[in-house]
Chains A and B, each alone.
Chain A
Amino acid sequence: MRADRIRLAWLLVALACPASASAQSFPDTIDAVAPKVVKIYGAGGLKNLYPYGTGFLVSPQGHIATVWSHILDADSVTVVLNDGRRFEGKVVGAEPPLDLAVLKIEGENLPYFDLSQTATAGVGSRVLAFSNVFKVASGNEAVSVLHGVISSRTTLTARRGVFEAPYSGPVYVVDAITNNPGAGGGVLTTWDGRLLGMLGKELRDSRNNTWVNYVVPIGELSDMIQQISTGKFRSRPKSDEDPEVQLRRYSAIDFGLVMVPDVVVRTPPYVDRVVAGSLAEKAGLKSNDLVLFVGETLVPSHRILRDELGRLEAGDRLKLVVRRGDQLVTVELQAPRKGAAE
């Protein structure tokens, strides 16, 4: 009975959704999208650097958005359209923090994505990915299409070397294996052909050793694409200081915490002892407490705790969540004034 109720629920929901896009199926969508995606051939060809990639047209005059990559190191690149026409492409501009480049070919009345008509999508949405993956397509062949769903909307963070990502920011993660050589710069669309984003490069998540098939949402890119295309381009200032060169200001002992010795890569951050009269003692921390969180950040090992404490500034509030037996205990401390740090 319960099962029936659920089935009914989804049918109703399905109907409740406004039919914002014209009703079309995958084949119609693919016919409409494929001509806007181009194959790019450029520098590379040595070692593991493949000399091909993908881009997509964003203006009828031949502006093409793609990923910023070694392929563009050549003076000019070859752009091949869906119908086999070949063009010389020149780099108009690039924005490395977005891993974005814009090319221009000399053409007119070309099929293109209207960047004012893009979409966003949630987890579970059916998507199509178009790209020159492994340069399977050549000449007048259309690019390859992969089908999947949005697995997740998440944020790529380059912190702590978890990802050696060329881009950090919001992304879609897709359950199709979209990010392979040559696919970067391709497009992700909804099942009815609305542009969702640009396929990223191959990327490995070192935390669990899996490849991440990520797509940069078009909303992150379209302003910059338009600025570069119209020549009003100003490179975005880098906001974050490089965490590597950041000075470590605080460590556990500054709070009166003596941690167990850090002997292996994943030494759990247990408190060995608490210095009498210290901030830690006043806050109620005890020996054998296991530090789990600094603020909202999980600290799975001693080293990550050290990195997190190193980010603090004098006067910052420090919230720690520790495990004591089977209890989670939250304490708050204030980073002390420290001569050397100022």
Chain B
Amino acid sequence: MNMIKRFKVSFSKVFKKLFKKKGACIGIYGPPNAGKTTLSNRILRDWVGGEETMGSVSHIAHETRHAKRRNEVTIETNGHTISLDIVDTPGLATKIDFHDFMEQGMSDSESKKRSKEATEGVIEAVKWLDDLDGVILVMDATENPYTQVNVTVIGNMEARNLPLLIVANKVDLPDADPGVIKEAFPQHPMVPVSALEGVGMDSFYEALAKQFG
């Protein structure tokens, strides 16, 4: 990004802060099966209550195939209150092979349908990158963090000069090593959580308020 464009982005951020634009729009990104929808559901459970969820979860990749936006989620932490619009996005991927879904027990037609919808979901997720005020990047703490999806999302936020919070998810699993994620991307804040078990969520909300409040 050139100097003029960066100045425009910075000015726009200062302007928004001065006039307190309501509900910064934050996208939840990551590769398939990293736990984005589980985290989104956990946020809604903690701050919206009731039965509302962002979407269903499954062990089969690309369960979320359409972005879902929830406006004005109000989070209170450490005496601060922030209101965010949260977008749960489909998992980003560079390849989608319907045979992978068949291996999970889906029929040929079901697999092809999911594959088609998943490709549309990835396109939708990429388009959302242009309309966000920041990103929560969910990584699976049991896997190598140097995936192209992670590198691309982080690069996009850095080039746009927008805030990013990395969530090292699945710390309840024995193979989890959030330290590897911190080491890989030391320039961004990282919080270890288990969205499924609700571990580390207080630290997550504090980091969320600090980064996007």
A binds B: no
- Residues on B lying within 8 angstroms of A by beta carbon are none
- Residues on A lying within 8 angstroms of B by beta carbon are none
